């Protein structure tokens, strides 16, 4: 938990910095580990239940491990009508996981969102916060292949 301590020290153990602290912990671990929340609660002197309230309210936080790359498929009305569900099915086949799960190698997490407010770009996929507009199954396969190739060799060997 030294990394968590360093994050807290960087901001200062004050309640007003809690969201920034949690964002950095999320970025480092790809989720909010229970041990990290306990550390933040103790150091910032905030009830653990308040941290859980924040962590479950904001969509950017996760209490379960997420992959190195988080893939979100928009299933708002426009995206749904223009093939969003076919993209979900393609990802389930390609990654071997269902929405809400993480691949065994920890490289990808896959989830759906209801609307990201970019209907003109439908169907839309977000990967690590980056928008991929007018996505097709073929383009999605190509993006995943690029991400897999970009992975450092040392991590692939794990």
DSSP line for 69-129: EEEEEE-SHHHHHTTHHHHHHHHHHHHS--TTEE-TTSSEEEEEES--S-GGG-S-EEETT
| Cα–Cα dist 118/72, whole Å | 13
Beta bridge partners of 72: 111, 126
- Mean confidence (pLDDT) of the chain: 92
CATH class of 69-156: alpha beta
Query: In the chain, which stretches have pLDDT less than 50?
Result: 153-154, 156-158
Predicted confidence at residue 152, as pLDDT, reads 59
User: Is the pTM of the predicted complex or chain greater than 0.75?
Assistant: yes
Task: Please provide residue 11's backbone torsions phi and psi, each rounded to the nearest 5 degrees.
Answer: -95, -30
Give the pLDDT confidence of 4-15 residue by residue, as tens digits. 999 999 999 999
Domain ranges of the chain: 2-57, 69-156
| Cα–Cα dist 70/108, whole Å | 6
The size of the chain, in residues, is 158
């Amino acid at each position: 938990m030294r990394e968590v301590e360093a994050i807290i020290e960087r901001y200062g153990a004050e309640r007003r910095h809690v969201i920034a602290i949690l964002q950095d912990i999320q970025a480092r671990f790809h989720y909010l580990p229970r041990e990290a929340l306990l550390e933040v609660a103790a150091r910032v002197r905030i009830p653990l239940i308040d941290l859980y309230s924040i962590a479950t309210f904001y969509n950017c936080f996760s209490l379960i491990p997420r992959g190195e790359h988080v893939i979100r498929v928009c299933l708002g009305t426009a995206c749904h009508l223009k093939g969003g569900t076919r993209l979900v099915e393609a990802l389930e086949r390609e990654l071997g996981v269902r929405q809400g799960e993480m691949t065994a190698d920890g490289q990808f997490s896959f989830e759906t969102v209801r609307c990201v407010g970019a209907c003109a770009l439908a169907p839309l996929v977000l990967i690590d916060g980056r928008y991929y507009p007018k996505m097709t199954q073929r383009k999605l396969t190509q993006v995943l292949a690029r991400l897999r190739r970009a992975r450092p060799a040392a991590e692939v060997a794990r």
